[in-house]
Amino acid sequence: MKERLLTSSIAKLIDEKKLENRLNFEANHDHLTQLGNRKSCFENFATLSSKYPYLLYFDLDNFKHANDKYGHQTGDEVLISISNALQTEFGADNCFRLGGDEFVAFSQVLPENIDTLRNRLVEQIFEFDVGVSIGIAKITPNESPDEIMHRADSNMYSDKSHKIIRQTPRT
């Protein structure tokens, strides 16, 4: 009888621990891409920025149009594809989905060629006319995570505006 009670108690503790782990994962990860979410990014910012000197900010170009044209299921597949490509490039623990079509990754090195990185990231979604704009910020210890994130975001918008200029025919 005592063995059955002990076995039952152990099984209950194991189930509680599994539930706790699942709830913790769900609170800190994006449900669609399984990447860390915004909350997780900021909670891990100090640790990651002490190991990785660069923050890369990614925003999908033309995502809304592709989502509207091909449907939300395809839009979800595009987001999953990008998240998988980011994980391949930077490692799963270094990548986060901030929301919508915005992602960040911590990196040990600067990409040698931004266009090459851009092409690798969109390789699986090329058919949907979705691109990616990339902003990079060197992480400095005297700046807050918000300031670093803002600088990377600003650099991403600069990249986006330069691409639009390059893609627009000259008149």
Where in the sequence numbering do the catalytic residues fall?
A: 101
Residue owning tokens 């990249």: 159
Q: Where are the beta strands (DSSP E) in 75-130?
A: 95-99, 102-107
- d(CA 45, CA 40) in angstroms, rounded, equals 8
Confirm if 58 and 133 have CB atoms less than 8 A apart. Answer: yes
Q: Kindly report the length of the chain.
A: 171
Strand partners, 103: 58, 97
Type of residue at 120: R
